[in-house]
């Protein structure tokens, strides 16, 4: 996260890294669009269960499978991830206003970049914990990535998203370590801003996934 030389002239006045991250996000949109479309195309085409929203009885073994998606639990994890976006906004604001004098306790709380970066990273990790729980319970209930089309497309889609969240958490922890080493200040705001853009993007993708995969039957 080396800061570029501030003297560089740019045609738009924007820092180049800001433009690059938008180009990257555009590319990521197509990545997730391909994954989500595949999931939707394959919805209802699986020959064997378990299924996401319907119960299924295995005709050979007579085993009874529940509808596998656990919407209450995933709603909780979705809420956690959405809250992390709020924490991220507060973290960025704290970094931008590092040099503004803090008078009250609430000023100091709102102005603590470490607190909000930790909160974001922890919320992200909690989401990942929920996902690990979800994945293991699905495997115990008999759905793996090899079971049927639903299993393949579901685990790949949500797994790709989980990998993106993981990368984001590592990114946040890196920013935190810099914050502990030398303190993040207004000069680093752009670095935090870029991490925030990525983080919000990953959240927005989850809103699409939660709606299309979990909520719509």
Partner 1 sequence: MTSTAVPTTAPSHAEPAYVGQKGVWSWLTTVDHKRIGTLYLYTALTFFLIGGLEAEMLRIQLQGPNRHFVSAELYNQLFTMHGTTMIFLAIMPLSAAFFNFLIPLQIGARDVAFPRLNAFSYWVYLFGGIFITLPILFQVAPNGGWFGYVPLTTRQFSAGINIDFWVIGLQILGISSLAAAFNFITTIINLRAPGMTLMRMPMFTWMAFVVQFLLVLAFPVITIALVFLLFDRFFGTNFYEINAGADPLLWQHLFWIFGHPEVYILILPAFGLVSEVLPTYSGKPLFGYPVMVYSGILIGVLGFGVWAHHMFAVGMGPIADSVFALSTMLIGIPTGVKIFNWMATMAQGSIRYTTSMKFGIALVALFTIGGISGVMHSSPPADLQQTDTYFIVAHFHYVLFGGSIMGIFAGIYHYFPKITGRLLNEKLGSWHFWINFVGMNLTFFPMHFSGMLGMPRRIYTYDAGQGWDTFNLMSSIGAYMLAVATLIFIYNFFTSRKRGEIAGPNPWHAGTLEWSIPSPPPEYNFAVLPTVTSRYPLWEGNETDMESARLNSQEGKSAEEMGIILPYNTIKPLIVALGLIIMFCGLITTRVLIFVGAATLVVSLYTWLLSPLEPEHH
Give rounded-to-5 percent helix, strand, coil for the chain.
70, 0, 30
Nearest Cα neighbor of 141 from 56, 50, 59 is 50
Residues contacting residue 207 through CB under 8 Å, at least 6 positions apart: 78, 82
Residues contacting residue 7 through CB under 8 Å, at least 6 positions apart: none
Nearer to partner 1, 174 or 187 (CB): 174
Nearer to partner 1, 30 or 72 (CB): 30
Nearest Cα neighbor of 205 from 145, 167, 158, 166 is 158
Closest separation between CB of residue 202 and partner 1, Å?
15
Nearer to partner 1, 12 or 106 (CB): 12
Closest separation between CB of residue 72 and partner 1, Å?
28
Closest separation between CB of residue 10 and partner 1, Å?
4
Nearest Cα neighbor of 197 from 92, 80, 81, 123 is 92
Closest separation between CB of residue 107 and partner 1, Å?
32
Nearer to partner 1, 15 or 203 (CB): 15
DSSP conformation class of 143: -
> Phi/psi of residue 56, each to 5°?
-150, 135
Only one residue has tokens 């983080």, namely: 199
Binding site for partner 1 (CB under 8 A): 1-7, 9-12, 14, 16, 19-20, 23-24, 26-28, 30-31, 34-35, 38, 41-42, 45-47, 145-146, 148-149, 151-153, 156, 174
Nearer to partner 1, 30 or 105 (CB): 30
Nearer to partner 1, 167 or 215 (CB): 167
Closest separation between CB of residue 123 and partner 1, Å?
24
Closest separation between CB of residue 79 and partner 1, Å?
28
Nearest Cα neighbor of 120 from 74, 128, 208 is 128
């Amino acid at each position: 996260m080396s800061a570029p030389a501030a003297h560089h002239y740019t045609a738009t006045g924007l820092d180049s890294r800001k433009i690059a991250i938008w180009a990257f996000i555009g590319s990521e949109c197509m990545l997730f669009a391909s994954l989500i479309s595949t999931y939707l195309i394959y919805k209802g085409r699986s020959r064997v269960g378990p299924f996401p929203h319907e119960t299924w009885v295995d005709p050979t073994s007579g085993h009874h499978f529940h509808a596998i998606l656990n919407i209450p639990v995933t709603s909780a994890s979705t809420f956690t991830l959405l809250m992390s976006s709020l924490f991220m906004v507060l973290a960025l604001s704290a970094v931008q206003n590092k040099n503004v004098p803090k008078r009250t306790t609430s000023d100091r709380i709102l102005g603590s970049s470490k607190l909000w970066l930790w909160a974001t990273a922890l919320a992200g990790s909690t989401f990942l914990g929920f996902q690990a729980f979800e994945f293991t319970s699905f495997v115990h209930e008999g759905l793996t990535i090899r079971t049927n089309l639903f299993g393949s497309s579901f685990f790949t889609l949500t797994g790709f998203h989980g990998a993106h969240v993981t990368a984001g958490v590592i990114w946040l922890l890196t920013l935190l370590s810099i914050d502990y080493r030398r303190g993040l200040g207004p000069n680093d705001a752009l670095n935090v801003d870029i991490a925030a853009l990525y983080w919000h993007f990953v959240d927005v993708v989850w809103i699409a996934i939660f709606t299309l995969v979990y909520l719509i039957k």
